[in-house]
Amino acid sequence: MNRLPALLLVLVLGACATASKKSSLEALKPTVESFHQLIRWKDYRSAASLLVQERREDFQRARVRLNDDADLSVTDYEIEDVKLSDDGQRATVHSRIQWMRLPSASARTALVTSEFVLRNGAWLLERQVDGPFDGELP
């Protein structure tokens, strides 16, 4: 008979953990969508606000140095996969991004891996591999 309360406790805790992950993913989605939309519309200042504080200034300087307002065009993106860490504090997002950076006239497409971290209740981009900002968000 003592197993029944223990079983109920495990079921309740499991349900809470699942609900917590779901709410974390729901909170992450607008950040991921916003970042992609902002870079697509060349609003790099606003996109920088979705980065961790220590990467913002370098990101904005790189946009000016590379003349991205004129030379970079993100033409399409599609979020393909999102994985949340067990503790719910980190997320890995895989997106397919298509862009072109002048003087090249060729469109490039890459599967971009973005790592987001939860800080003070907000999801922020910490790292990105491949894509138009490869090497800038190490």
Q: Which domains does the chain have, with CATH numbers?
A: 26-129 (3.10.450.50)
pLDDT number for residue 15: 45
Evaluate whether 82 touches 25 at the Cβ level (below 8 Å). Answer: yes
Read off the pLDDT of residues 38-90 as tens digits, 9 standing for 90 and up: 999 999 999 999 999 999 999 999 999 999 999 999 999 999 999 999 999 99
- Distance separating alpha carbons of residues 56 and 75, to the nearest angstrom: 23
The model's pTM? 0.82
- Distance separating alpha carbons of residues 15 and 90, to the nearest angstrom: 20
Sign of dihedral through CA atoms 16, 117, 124, 79?
Answer: negative
